[in-house]
């Protein structure tokens, strides 16, 4: 089974002025951006990697490892709607 996606960010030194460095959870490519708005597919490096991840969720490669129990549903209904 492929592990669930993760998101990695590091702050690099050097001449880049401490720009955040992101690692794509699909292809592991490192990329830097000046602002979060400059990476529209973050945490992915591209639309392709974003769609690969979505496909893995849809085909069942990624899945929630434990089914919901009735107690979990009661807790959610007591908390009320989120938003």
Res 83 pLDDT > 80: no
pLDDT digits (tens, 9 = 90+) for 15-56: 445 778 889 999 999 988 888 788 889 899 999 999 999 999
| pLDDT for res 8 | 53
With b for 16 or more beta-carbon neighbours within 10 A and e for fewer, the 7-39 pattern comes to eeeeeeeeeeeebbebbbbbeeeebeeeeeeeb
Domain boundaries, the chain: 8-77
| pLDDT for res 13 | 45
Among the residue ranges 18-22, 54-58, 60-64, 77-81, the one predicted with the least confidence is 77-81
Element (H, E) at 77: helix 70-79
The third-level CATH classification (topology) of the domain covering 8-77 is Erythroid Transcription Factor GATA-1; Chain A (3.30.50)
């Amino acid at each position: 089974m492929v592990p669930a996606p993760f998101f990695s960010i590091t702050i690099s030194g050097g001449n880049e002025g401490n720009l955040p460095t992101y690692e794509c959870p699909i292809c592991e490519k490192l990329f830097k951006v000046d602002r979060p708005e400059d990476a529209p597919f973050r945490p992915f490096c591209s639309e392709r990697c974003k769609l690969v991840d979505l496909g893995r969720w849809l085909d069942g490669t990624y899945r929630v490892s434990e089914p919901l129990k009735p107690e979990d549903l009661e807790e959610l209904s007591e908390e009320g709607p989120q938003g």
